Amino acid sequence: MSDDSMSDNELFLGVDQGSSSTKGLLIDAAGVAVQEFAAAVPERIDNNPCVEQDPEGLLTSVTEVFNRAVAWSNEQGVKIRAAGLAVQRSGVLAWNSIDGRPRHPVITWADTRTAPIIQNFGRGVERISLKTGLPTIPNFAAGKIHLLQRQFLEPSIYVATLDAFLLHRMSGKKVFVTEDTMAARTMLYALTERGWSNDLCRDFEVDSHRLPRINPSLAPHTHYAGVPIVALLGDQQAALIGRSGIKRRPFLNLGTIAALTLDTGYNVVQKTGMMTSVLLSRLIPNSYAREMKFLIETTSPVTGTVLLEPLRREWCKSSKELNAMCERAEQEQLQGRASAYFVNHRHSLPKWEHGVPNVMVCKPDATTADRARAIVENVGNLVVRMLEEFSDKGLLGEVFPNEIDVAGGGSELGYLLQYISDVSGHILHRLATHEAGSRGAALCAWMSVNNEFEARQFNQQEPSRSYRCERPERRKRYLMWQRLEQDTLNSALPAHAEVEPA
């Protein structure tokens, strides 16, 4: 319920800082989108297995969105009452606590240089995963924090996740904090303890005294440009909160990564190989106790990179053109023309597994459009595999087909969504807005101000389009793709396969 003192012309800002862009969204007190903003971010520098990003550039993108939102609201004669900030997860950097200057770039979630640390745990990874709810892999932050703490021994050097750096600088170097959803992705946070774990810090040889204080997600974190930042959380958590629909349906976010998440409410649900984490936290009113909600998630790191392949190869110039190419190729196949398959591994397998190439399998007369379609279907096949994993672990329920909400840049490809629906049999609801992350961050700001822990009254939008299974025979292409994937792994490809250098 809204605060009685809230004016009708007060707005809430959500900022979503991702690895490929920073997005902003202003909503009014009724949850209606008013104005969008976007800022470019520096490209990631990928020197396998090291993947880094410039923290100053990321900070600049966030402050640019804030400043543009404040300037726009001032021009309109309205006030931004509060803001929420969602941040890409698992990235770690080092910076000077006195002047705020970075001493090391962001080691991003895609970086796997800490694989030897993980491998040294042997069977101990099972114990770590039970405590953290996460598979014990090098993408998470613990090993990265270990490396940077050892590299920078001075107490004046902060080592922490990206959100802590952003808040430290935006607060004028006054605060050094993180919050539950980001801390829970480090592998140093125990779900049962709901905080930094001494045992996990000892496992990773991390000095817990150098870690930031953990705030609740919904809390007065700091101010920037006169706007209170009252919500802080991970980007996928924000996207799940910002999804459409009052039902707790699974949510597929097709952004830089493909993330399939499910809100499990107050229940901690753990499944082997999947990620259990904090969705949102707050202090219980009139209490020092902390209230938490949780999610379970599986991801594939391919979506953004692979879907950009046809554009990188200059086969098309936009998502709209790519979608048209896929539809044209489908018609050519129905007329008996050749069809191609694409199997990618360089981005889908952990980066410490070297030597597995990307492969295009097609006849010599395959068209460019069909090759582009093969690349898009590769992403669809990986998403179908994620859905099947959810189903196998009992997370989709007993009713078939299931309904799944979809957002993110990849959801612009209607061909992709129809293919996923045809192969999986499930119903996909594309959200009216692609920017679920910034919307979720704005809704969290509203919840924090109004002392609420739900924003469902804002989540009753109709999807812009629904996709239902129309051609179940397309599942044969998925099964063929699976066979070709095994052939790729076994180096048993046909002679006409086009193999990219690994």
Is-contact 369 325, C-beta < 8 A? yes
pLDDT of residue 462: 62
Residue by residue, what is the 3-state secondary structure of 221-248? EEEECCEEEEEEEEHHHHHHHCCCCCCC
pLDDT of residue 101: 98
| CA dist., res. 182 & res. 88, Å (int) | 9
b/e map of 327-341 (b: 16 or more CB within 10 Å)?
eebbebbeeeeebbb
Q: Which two tokens stand for residue 15?
A: 């900022």
Residues β-bridged to residue 433: none
Per domain, the residue ranges of the chain are 10-244, 305-433+464-499
Which class for 486: exposed (0-12), middle (13-18), buried (19 or more C-beta within 10 A)? exposed
Question: CATH number for the 305-433+464-499 domain, one of 3.40.50.12280, 3.10.105.10, 3.40.1210.10, 3.30.420.40?
Answer: 3.30.420.40
51 closest CA partner among 93, 15, 87, 22 = 93
Per-residue pLDDT of the chain (502 residues; tens, 9 = 90+): 334 334 467 999 999 999 899 999 999 998 889 999 999 999 999 898 899 999 999 999 999 999 999 999 999 999 999 999 999 999 999 999 999 999 999 999 999 999 999 999 988 899 999 999 999 999 999 999 999 999 999 999 999 999 999 999 999 999 999 999 999 999 999 999 999 999 999 999 999 999 999 999 999 999 999 999 999 999 999 999 988 655 678 999 998 899 999 999 999 999 998 999 999 999 998 888 899 999 999 998 878 889 999 999 999 999 999 999 999 999 888 777 778 999 987 666 554 455 678 899 988 888 999 999 999 999 999 999 999 999 999 999 888 999 999 999 999 999 999 999 999 999 999 988 778 999 999 999 999 999 999 876 676 566 689 999 999 999 999 999 999 999 988 888 888 888 876 4
pLDDT of residue 3: 41
| CA dist., res. 420 & res. 424, Å (int) | 6
| CA dist., res. 477 & res. 481, Å (int) | 6
| Residue 47 phi, psi (nearest 5) | -120, 75
**Domains 10-244 and 305-433+464-499 agree in fold:** yes
User: pTM for the full model?
Assistant: 0.92
| CA dist., res. 51 & res. 56, Å (int) | 16
Is the domain 10-244 a CATH 3.30.420.40 member? yes
Which class for 180: exposed (0-12), middle (13-18), buried (19 or more C-beta within 10 A)? buried
pLDDT of residue 335: 76
Is-contact 183 220, C-beta < 8 A? no
Q: Which two tokens stand for residue 103?
A: 């001493």
